[in-house]
């Protein structure tokens, strides 16, 4: 470690943090520090696409969070994976490149009163860092750091599901990222030549490591932020107290302190620093620095309902991976061609449609997999099967993230409150019916799909909603816990430029800033937000 005095201090080397470090350290006159609690991304399973099976639930790469017992899940608690390594969750996620729908961003513009968040204004910031495999066009960019490719394999069972979805009225799609993602097709992925492409590879390795004004600490935890009063009595963030594994280090941030620790980590750090709901801080004997009741509120996540269908006469990963010959074949194919099951994302086929006719836009998303298991990290089932996971894209349920104690080492209390509204329970029931309608189409008949979970004995709304609580799990998209909003929104933690309200020189740039969850996977929208924030931060410094 050098003298702990920097222009910018970024907390969290995940999806947003890596891009911010790249952009801000491009100014040679500014010293940039990137702080990461995890280790470097030198674990081989991070880079082999199927390695998510060995990274999720592994303390080497995962924070190992768990939710509290959830009434909406009939009392179950869930494992809640979050990446803990360079690249953050981009080092353990499903690699799916997904922007969501144009209405998501137009909604943010309305909620914040800032037109710069609208789809037309957000699109250039998606394109700015994109390297699209087909080259640039009106919605895609080329030559950027963030590689987007086609998947390197096909499965007969997934092709049949796609045909069945079309027979059920869902159109074919070759690109989910043009503003309206309705349709069925194979996902595009953040890979390069058969390897996972995480944000550490994309944004840190090519440039940051060689810059003399850039410094990175790994295995370092922020204990709390440091605030000071200006002459007029207002507050500013001056830096942070950091535990480097051996000692406490005072770090100064001359221009800005930027939290990019994610929807769980950033509200935890704010609360430990005396910034948040006053009553919560009082309970943990933390002096109140600045009351912001919205810190840790507004948690949203996509809850996937994993329906499993046994099949006959077709190859699935279950049948391949449960034999020695199959394992040898899988390994040889990846070693020689960087293709096959070891190159595949957790979900290969996607579909976006409506759970009921009254919805104007697609409101449910499918992740379809040629495999089945009880949960990621668990063994594959011993029979051939596929999984059709479906999630409500726009849940109305809201949860919380709150510190458990005043110690930074203690994981926070995570309460998603899944299925806590009538609207979400209705969508859950209806989405299972859509799954059954697709699987009853002629295209799948030759494989004799048999609903193994949840089971056809469950038919009523009440039965299906309860069943959803029994079998559903997170799809790893927590957002909203430090949301941005308009000036009149008492629960808005950030303004529309992602600055913490009431504290100068402090910003939060991660998925927690989203006021509402996007209609799809959340990694790429987070990168877009970081791209915008990097511009604003540099402008403010000037």
What would the pLDDT profile of 119-150 be if each residue is shown by its tens digit? Answer: 999 999 999 999 999 999 999 999 999 999 99
Mean pLDDT confidence for 327-339: 87
Instruction: For 154, list phi and psi in degrees, rounded to 5.
Output: -135, 155
d(CA 110, CA 106): 6
DSSP code at position 434: H
Question: What positions carry a catalytic annotation?
Answer: 477
Write out pLDDT tens, residues 340-399.
889 988 899 999 999 999 999 999 999 999 999 887 667 889 999 999 999 999 999 999
For the chain, percent of residues with pLDDT exceeding 70:
99
* pLDDT tens per residue across span 219-244: 999 999 999 999 999 999 999 999 99
Distance (Å, whole) CA 349 – CA 346:
10
- Confidence class of residue 321 from pLDDT cuts 50, 70 and 90? confident
Q: Are 258 and 456 in contact (CB under 8 A)?
A: no
Q: What is the pLDDT of residue 3?
A: 60
**Cα→Cα distances 110→105, 107, 114, 457, 522, Å:** 9, 5, 7, 44, 20
- Taking the C-alpha atoms of residue 155 and residue 370, their distance in angstroms, rounded to an integer, is 7
Q: Could you report the per-residue pLDDT of 48-95, keeping only the tens digit for each?
A: 999 998 999 999 999 999 999 999 999 999 999 999 999 999 999 999
| pLDDT single digits (tens) 141-182 | 999 999 999 998 899 999 999 999 999 999 999 999 999 999
Nearest one of 347, 391, 262, 320 to 49, comparing CA atoms: 347
Angle between helices 156-167 and 422-439 (to 10 degrees): 110
Q: What pLDDT does 427 receive?
A: 97
């Amino acid at each position: 470690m050098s003298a702990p005095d920097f222009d910018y201090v970024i907390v969290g080397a995940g999806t947003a943090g890596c891009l911010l470090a790249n952009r801000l350290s491009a100014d040679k006159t500014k010293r940039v520090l990137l702080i990461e609690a995890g280790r470097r991304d030198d674990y081989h399973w991070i880079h082999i696409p199927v390695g998510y099976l060995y990274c999720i639930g592994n303390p080497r790469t995962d924070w190992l969070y768990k939710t509290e017992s959830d009434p909406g899940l009939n009392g179950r608690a869930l494992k809640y994976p979050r990446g803990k390594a360079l690249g953050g969750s981009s080092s353990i996620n499903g690699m799916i490149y997904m922007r969501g729908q144009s209405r998501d961003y137009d909604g943010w513009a309305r909620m914040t009163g800032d037109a710069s968040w609208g789809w037309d204004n957000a699109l250039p910031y998606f394109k700015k860092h994109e390297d699209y495999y087909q080259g640039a066009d009106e919605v895609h960019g080329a030559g950027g750091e963030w590689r987007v490719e086609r998947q390197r394999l096909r499965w007969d069972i997934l092709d049949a599901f796609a045909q069945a979805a079309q027979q059920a009225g869902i159109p074919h799609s070759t690109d989910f990222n043009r503003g309206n993602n309705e349709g069925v097709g194979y996902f595009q992925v953040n890979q390069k030549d058969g390897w996972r492409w995480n944000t550490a590879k994309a944004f840190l390795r090519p440039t940051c490591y060689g810059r003399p004004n850039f410094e990175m600490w790994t295995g370092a935890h922020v204990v709390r932020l440091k605030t000071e009063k200006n002459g007029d009595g207002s507050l500013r963030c001056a830096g942070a107290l950091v535990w480097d594994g051996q000692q406490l280090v005072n770090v100064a941030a001359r221009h800005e302190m930027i939290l990019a620790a994610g929807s769980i980590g950033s509200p935890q750090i704010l609360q430990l620093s005396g910034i948040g709901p006053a009553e919560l801080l009082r309970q943990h004997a933390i002096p109140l620095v600045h009351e912001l009741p919205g810190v840790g509120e507004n948690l949203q996540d996509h809850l996937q309902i994993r329906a499993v269908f046994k099949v006959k006469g077709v190859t699935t990963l279950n049948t391949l991976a449960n034999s020695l010959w199959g394992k040898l074949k899988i390994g040889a194919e990846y070693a020689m061609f960087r293709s096959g099951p070891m190159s595949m994302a957790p979900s290969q086929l996607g579909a976006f449609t409506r759970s009921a006719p009254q919805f104007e836009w697609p409101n449910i998303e499918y992740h379809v997999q040629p495999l089945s298991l009880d949960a990621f990290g668990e063994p594959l089932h011993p029979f051939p099967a596929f999984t059709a996971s479906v999630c409500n894209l726009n849940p109305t349920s809201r949860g919380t993230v709150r510190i458990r104690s005043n110690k930074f080492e203690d994981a926070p209390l995570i309460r998603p409150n899944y299925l806590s509204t009538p609207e979400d329970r209705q969508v859950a029931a209806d989405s299972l019916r859509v799954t059954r309608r697709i699987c009853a189409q002629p295209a799948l008949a030759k494989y004799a799909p048999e609903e193994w979970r949840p089971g056809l004995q469950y038919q009523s709304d009440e039965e299906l909603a309860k069943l959803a609580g029994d079998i559903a799990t997170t799809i790893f998209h927590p957002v909203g816990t430090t949301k941005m909003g308009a000036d009149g929104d008492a629960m808005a933690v950030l303004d529309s430029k992602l600055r913490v309200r009431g504290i100068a020189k402090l910003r939060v740039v991660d998925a927690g800033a989203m006021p509402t969850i996007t209609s799809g996977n959340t990694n790429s929208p987070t990168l877009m937000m970081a791209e915008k924030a990097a511009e604003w931060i540099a402008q403010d410094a000037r």
